[in-house]
Structure 1
Amino acid sequence: MTVLVHPTYFPSISTFVAISQAKQVIFETADNFVKQTYRNRCYIYGANGKMALNVPVVYSQKNRQKYKDVKIFNDENWQSRHWKSLLSAYRTSPFFEYYEDELQPLFVKKFDTILDFNLKCIETILDCLQLDIEIATTQIFEKTVTHADDFRSLVQAKKEIPQHFEHYTQVFEAKHGFIPNLSILDLLCNEGPNTLNYLESQNLPIL
């Protein structure tokens, strides 16, 4: 199976379910940037519940920009804030320390564009999962595709379709209950080496 997905900021579990069950992943890199999506946002489980981490970008709604051209607004110290949020959320999780050394450099090195940063985040997660998968990128944007299963709609953060994935134990679950389909980081920190088995055993995302 070949899947077409948007490369987003530490993608949602639903996106990684699709990735993990594919033989080839094609990343959509020829589209226009759209705000209020997972392109520059992910959700983690903090002490107060579901928490958004937003990467600031230099973007004007008036002038359409290609996703690949949108730059990160690095004048803000967002990387330090995001890392502190991850420490607060997951340092007591079973496997955070196991992956800390691989994740931490992403919050130190400066990246110019959001696309390059997202691709590096995904590459890091694939390494953590020891998942070797064929990857390609689009060169032109096609509204309708016939050569791959189109999971690009998973990029929507505001119009998300509820996904029915199996329960796993979360750090603050006793306070706020189980929160499904967070960033892959939540699953990785809580399930560790079992993450890939979990992803491969789930039903493909509902579109």
Structure 2
Amino acid sequence: MKALLYPTYFPSISHYAAMVQADSITFETEDNFQKQTNRNRMYIYSPNGIQLLNIPIKHSKEAHQKTKEVKIEQDFNWQKQHFKSLEAAYRTSPFFEYFEDDILPIFQKKQTFLLDLNLEVFEIVNQCLGITLPFEKTAEYFQNSPDYIDYRTLTNGKKDQTSCEHYTQVFEDKHGFLNNLSILDLLFNEGRYALDYLKNQKL
């Protein structure tokens, strides 16, 4: 199975399951940037329920801007805010401290381009899972992709209808099970068991 996907910011569980189960991964990097997608956002389980963490970007005057050209807006201290939110959400989870040092560089190092950040996130999460997932990048935009299983819709949470299997979440007793959050939610709660979960997740 050859999977075609967009690189995203700490991808959703369904997105990661698709990559783990694929025979090969190709990242679409010639697309036009679309707002309100997981390219620059993730969803976590906060003490108050679901919480959106959004990376601010520099808006272009061009009508269509390629995602690989999108720059991160550094006037806001978004990295500090995101990490504080992750601490509030997961400090009491079983594996937050185990992976904390691995993910910390994302919230300390300043990247210029969103795509570079997302590819670094991808490598760090793979490291946390204890796996290597080689990938290729597209050289042109694929309107149709007959040679691939097209998982690009997983980038848009509203179009992703995946129903994830239950696992224990930190604030589940308050708000119940929240479906298909960021891979970090699974990682902090399940540790290395997250990999078996992803392999068995139905897409």
Deviation at 1:163, TM superposition (A): 1.5
Helix, strand or coil for the counterpart of 2:192? Answer: helix
Computed over aligned residues only, the root mean square deviation of the Cα atoms, in angstroms, reads 1.0
TM-score by length of 1: 0.95
Give the corresponding residue for 1:170: 169
Letter in 2 for 1:40: N
Offset from partner CA, 1:119-169 (integer Å, 9 cap, x none): 101110011111122211111001101221100011113x23331221000
1:35–1:171: structure 2 CA closer, same or farther, 3 Å change rule?
Answer: same
Deviation at 1:52, TM superposition (A): 0.2
TM-score by length of 2: 0.97
Q: Is the 8 A contact 1:23 1:133 kept in 2?
A: no
Give the corresponding residue for 2:27: 27
- Which one is further off, 30-39 or 162-171? 162-171
Give the corresponding residue for 2:43: 43
Percent identical among aligned pairs is 51
Helix, strand or coil for the counterpart of 2:106? Answer: helix
Give the corresponding residue for 1:143: 143
Matched, 1:74 2:100: no
Offset from partner CA, 1:67-87 (integer Å, 9 cap, x none): 000000011100000000000
Give the corresponding residue for 1:202: 201
1:190–1:61: structure 2 CA closer, same or farther, 3 Å change rule?
Answer: farther
* Separation of aligned partners in 2, 1:11 and 1:58: 21
* Separation of aligned partners in 1, 2:121 and 2:49: 23
Deviation at 1:61, TM superposition (A): 7.0
Give the corresponding residue for 2:191: 192
Matched, 1:18 2:18: yes
Give the corresponding residue for 2:58: 58
For structure 1, which runs of at least 5 residues remain unmatched after alignment? none
* Separation of aligned partners in 2, 1:92 and 1:127: 22
Q: Is the 8 A contact 2:153 2:160 kept in 1?
A: no
Aligned pair count reads 203
Q: Is the 8 A contact 1:23 1:134 kept in 2?
A: no
Give the corresponding residue for 1:128: 128
* Separation of aligned partners in 1, 2:107 and 2:189: 20
* Separation of aligned partners in 2, 1:150 and 1:84: 35
Helix, strand or coil for the counterpart of 1:44? Answer: strand
1:133–1:62: structure 2 CA closer, same or farther, 3 Å change rule?
Answer: closer
Matched, 1:83 2:104: no
